[in-house]
């Protein structure tokens, strides 16, 4: 079919996923029938189980072992080279357990996203579920955000909240949050693929033509 003068078919955006372990959020992205192409899965660990999942689906894989590099900067340089070989529009961290340098985050500004198991800006870093339980919070959750040089404090794209139940342990709370991670991460990538969100000058995310329900989650429930 010949395109009319001045028109062209929109290019399908590409995605590179970074993992360090089993890759459950990677699997959620792969299973979501996203309107973009997963160009590669890259890990800093050769024994990451998620690599085999990607290979079974015919996705290119690459290992950039952090232990092969003397410092964070040289590792990030090698990692960026591996990513850029696939020319991705989006880079998604899916359980990638390395702290990236501010220079790396700035290089991929507006393209690098992460899923974090808390309602940021609360509980950045590790052990989020145990810390939330210790503090006695009643609502917990997860966040998809753009990655910046400020660890776990980049612009927020989407969040999901869950109630903290009586008798919860870090494991039971983590399982409830993980189910929501598997829902919101594909949604965030879908919006990016469709060009449905943008960053303003202040670093805030704006969603274009996205309906936002106005209901509240109250936990424990009202009587």
- DSSP string of 78-145? HHHHHHHTT--SEEEESS--SPPPHHHHHHTTTTEEEEESSSTTTT-SS-HHHHHHHHT-SEEEEEEE
Answer yes or no: 116 catalytic. Answer: yes
- β-strands 197-199, 205-207 pairing: antiparallel
Please state the separation of Cα 28 from the chain's center in Å: 11
Q: Give me 101's structure tokens.
A: 């340098």
d(CA 48, CA 55): 12
The single residue of 86, 116, 206, 209 carrying the catalytic annotation is 116
Radius of gyration, CA atoms only, the chain: 18
* Tokens 């959020």 -> residue: 25
Beta carbons of 20 and 45 less than 8 angstroms apart = yes
d(CA 117, CA 119): 7
Q: Which residues are catalytic?
A: 116
């Amino acid at each position: 079919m010949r395109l009319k003068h001045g028109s062209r078919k929109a290019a399908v955006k590409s995605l590179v996923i970074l993992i360090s372990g089993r890759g459950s959020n990677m699997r959620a992205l792969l299973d979501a029938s996203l309107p973009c192409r997963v160009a590669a899965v890259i890990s800093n660990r050769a024994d990451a189980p998620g690599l085999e999942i990607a290979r079974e689906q015919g996705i290119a894989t690459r290992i950039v072992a952090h232990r092969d590099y003397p410092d964070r900067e040289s590792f990030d340089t090698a990692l960026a080279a591996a990513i850029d070989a696939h020319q991705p529009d989006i880079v998604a961290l899916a359980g990638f357990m390395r702290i990236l340098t501010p220079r790396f985050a700035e290089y991929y500004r507006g393209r690098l996203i992460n899923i974090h198991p808390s309602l940021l800006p609360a509980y950045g870093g590790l052990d989020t579920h145990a810390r939330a339980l210790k503090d006695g919070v009643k609502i917990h959750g997860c966040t998809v955000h753009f990655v910046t040089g400020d660890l776990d404090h980049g612009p927020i794209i989407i969040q999901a909240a869950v109630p903290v139940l009586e008798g919860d342990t870090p494991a039971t709370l983590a399982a409830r949050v993980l189910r929501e991670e598997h829902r919101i991460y594909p949604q965030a990538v879908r919006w990016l693929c469709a060009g449905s969100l943008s960053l303003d000058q202040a670093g805030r995310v704006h969603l274009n033509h996205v309906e936002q329900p106005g209901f509240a989650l109250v936990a424990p429930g009202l009587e």
